[in-house]
């Protein structure tokens, strides 16, 4: 039995939390962009699975993690086209379409895995990249600057997405389309074009999130994501549709998971308490959601297909 409040233990928990948060963050950022334009995509988890398998299989065949990342992105983009056709083109109901995408991703990723690979052979990813100078800072470097390059990419995307949404013309269009598509349309902004673009971005990021998962774990397995995509959606609500908020939610979720894991590793909790603490991340997220949903409104046109003249 060890002590949780040692420097080494806390340093590990922070690093662990950051690693766990990364896939949530990427998928959540994408979902946030989509939702800001009024598109709910419940299929994130399915797209993540496809991205994860695409990246895994590519690296399995070519041993190139870079190529794997691009395949993950590409798979996401393709799924984005599919989802855009269904929800923007055919104006189908977003909730059920998203569930369809999820089931599709769940089934196809496993089927392809069974047919093409079969046994979960390990693959090699990027390995940790120690940021020059910064990683040498005692403790801090260990917590923040000794991660896979994909972790840095994910966190660098937070200000990038915030800038996109708040400081660019495209971002203005996105926010307008998500709140009042009729107003945007009346000013000549193409609702369909804006939403198609955000869907492509959202799904590409979901594909990347999946790729990060399989590359970092070095493995693929049926239902590898284990519902992470759905948690990412909850974290978008948690983060009040803001990139920084989504990051906060992902980090909180990751850090709480890491803390609970560390407690168990150190033997501080066991038996029934172990089962209960395992629920902590989910319970915390739900509590925060309840509080936030009372104070912040979702994009007014979320899940509503747009048709001119209605």
Bridge partner list, 148: 128
Least spacing, CB of residue 112 vs other proteins, in Å: 10
Tell me how many degrees the CA angle 289-253-22 measures, rounded to the nearest 5.
120
> CA end-to-end span of the chain, whole Å?
65
Q: Which is nearer to other proteins, 158 or 260 (CB)?
A: 260
H-run or E-run covering 281 = helix 280-295
The size of the interface with other proteins (CB under 8 A), counted in residues, is 80
Instruction: Record the tokens describing residue 310, joined without a space.
Output: 């209605």
Give yes or no for residue 141 binding other proteins (CB under 8 A).
no
Rounded CA Rg of the chain: 20
Q: Which is nearer to other proteins, 133 or 189 (CB)?
A: 189
Of 60-68, 69-77, 202-210, 217-225: span binding other proteins (CB under 8 A): 217-225
Give yes or no for residue 179 binding other proteins (CB under 8 A).
yes
Of 60-68, 69-77, 85-93, 197-205: span binding other proteins (CB under 8 A): 85-93
Tell me how many degrees the CA angle 120-208-210 measures, rounded to the nearest 5.
35
- Tallying the residues shown for the chain, one arrives at 310
- Distance CA(207)–CA(78), nearest Å, equals 9
Least spacing, CB of residue 127 vs other proteins, in Å: 8
Exactly one of 108, 149, 153, 292 binds other proteins (CB under 8 A); that residue is: 108
Give yes or no for residue 224 binding other proteins (CB under 8 A).
yes
Of 55-63, 100-108, 243-251, 285-293: span binding other proteins (CB under 8 A): 100-108
Q: Which is nearer to other proteins, 5 or 133 (CB)?
A: 5
Contacts of 60 (CB under 8 A, 6+ apart): 117, 121, 123
Exactly one of 192, 219, 284, 289 binds other proteins (CB under 8 A); that residue is: 219
Q: Which is nearer to other proteins, 58 or 257 (CB)?
A: 257
Of 60-68, 202-210, 214-222, 282-290: span binding other proteins (CB under 8 A): 214-222
Footprint (CB under 8 A) of other proteins, residues 8-27: 8-9, 12, 16, 19-20, 23
Give yes or no for residue 45 binding other proteins (CB under 8 A).
no
- Distance CA(310)–CA(304), nearest Å, equals 12
Exactly one of 189, 192, 282, 284 binds other proteins (CB under 8 A); that residue is: 189
- Distance CA(221)–CA(53), nearest Å, equals 8
Backbone angles phi, psi at 119, to 5 degrees: -85, 140
Q: Please state, as a whole number, how many other Cβ atoms lie within 10 Å of the Cβ of residue 79.
A: 28
Q: Which is nearer to other proteins, 133 or 191 (CB)?
A: 191
How many Cα atoms occupy the beta-carbon half-sphere of 274 within 13 Å?
11
Q: Which is nearer to other proteins, 16 or 133 (CB)?
A: 16
User: What is the distance of C-alpha 11 from the center of its chain?
Assistant: 24
Footprint (CB under 8 A) of other proteins, residues 236-265: 257-258, 261-262, 264-265
Report the sign of the C-alpha dihedral through residues 218, 223, 229, 231, in that order.
negative
Footprint (CB under 8 A) of other proteins, residues 264-303: 264-267, 270-271, 274-275, 278, 300
Least spacing, CB of residue 310 vs other proteins, in Å: 8
């Amino acid at each position: 039995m060890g002590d949780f409040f040692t420097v080494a233990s806390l340093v590990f928990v922070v690093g662990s939390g950051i690693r766990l948060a990364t896939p949530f963050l990427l998928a959540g950022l994408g979902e946030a962009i989509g939702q800001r334009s009024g598109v709910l995509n419940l299929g994130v988890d399915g797209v993540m699975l496809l991205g994860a398998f695409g990246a895994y299989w590519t690296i399995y065949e070519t041993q190139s993690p870079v190529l794997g990342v691009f395949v993950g992105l590409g798979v996401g983009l393709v799924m984005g086209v599919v989802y855009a056709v269904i929800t923007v083109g055919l104006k189908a109901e977003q909730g059920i379409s998203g569930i369809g995408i999820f089931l599709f991703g769940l089934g196809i990723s496993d089927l392809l895995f069974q047919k093409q690979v079969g046994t979960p052979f390990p693959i090699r990813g990027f390995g940790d990249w120690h940021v020059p100078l910064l990683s040498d800072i005692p403790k801090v470097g260990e917590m923040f600057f000794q991660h896979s390059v994909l972790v840095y990419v994910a966190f660098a995307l937070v200000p990038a997405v915030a800038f996109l949404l708040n400081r660019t013309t495209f971002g203005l269009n996105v926010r307008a389309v998500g709140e009042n598509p009729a107003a945007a349309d009346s000013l000549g902004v193409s609702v369909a074009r804006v939403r198609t673009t955000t869907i492509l971005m959202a799904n590409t990021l979901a594909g990347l999130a999946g790729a990060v998962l399989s590359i970092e774990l070095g493995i693929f397995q049926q239902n590898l994501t284990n519902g992470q995509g759905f948690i990412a959606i909850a974290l978008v609500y948690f983060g009040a549709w803001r990139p920084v908020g989504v990051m906060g939610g992902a980090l909180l979720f990751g850090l709480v998971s890491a803390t609970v894991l560390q407690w168990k590793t150190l033997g501080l909790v066991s038996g029934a308490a172990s089962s209960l603490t395992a629920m902590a991340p989910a319970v915390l997220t739900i509590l925060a959601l309840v509080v936030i949903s009372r104070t912040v409104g979702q994009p007014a046109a979320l899940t509503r297909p747009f048709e001119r003249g209605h």
